[in-house]
Copies of this chain bind each other. A is one copy, B any other.
């Protein structure tokens, strides 16, 4: 199994966590998103992922793209420990938490969007920082409400799920961009709890071979 990854990519970070939890062995192939205009735009990488971004998981049989689709594949294929609850309504609630982050926070703060803001719309660094923080805070407010309803030690009661796998990299991003987290006590509590696990610690950006 090969994971095409970039140390700071929060979507690759999701996969590193899940692979570690499932105890799947994998090699990291670093793809440098900044150097020489971005390795992800090279023809060989575009063949792997027409969307020209990380992560890609090469399973040996197929190259998979889109991190949440890959998380579902991992959970279907490596059953232990399960990262979704059993009953359908609970699964839907956990997936909703995952997608709140994966659809409504992360894509707005992606590198390509920040680039568009500065290059096409002449948005300055301070307004870009405000943009970044706005979507994190907007999303985390709703997420915190869901946590009040459903959380225990983890996002979904006391079960580690794909919601935690998605939340932790987003908290990493939030801290990196100086989002004030005191408004989100449940988010913070779950982050601190997860970061005690080796699976999460070993997946963190600073622990990656390509970290600068």
Contact = CB atoms under 8 A, between A and B. Distances in A.
Contacts of A69: 92-93, 95-96, 98-99
A56 to B, nearest CB: 10
A131 B112 CA distance: 12
A64 B142 contact: no
Interface string A39-75: 0000000000011100000010110111011101100
A192 interface: no
Given A99-B66, A100-B51, A127-B121, A91 B72 contact: yes
Interface string A130-159: 110010000101100110000000000000
Interface residues of A, number: 47
Nearest to A11: B103
B103 A113 contact: no
A174 to B, nearest CB: 17
Interface of A: 50-52, 59, 61-62, 64-66, 68-70, 72-73, 76-77, 88-89, 91-93, 95-96, 98-100, 102-104, 106-108, 113, 116-117, 120-121, 123, 127, 130-131, 134, 139, 141-142, 145-146
13 contacts: A61-B89, A69-B93, A70-B92, A72-B91, A72-B92, A73-B88, A103-B103, A103-B107, A104-B107, A107-B108, A117-B121, A120-B134, A121-B127
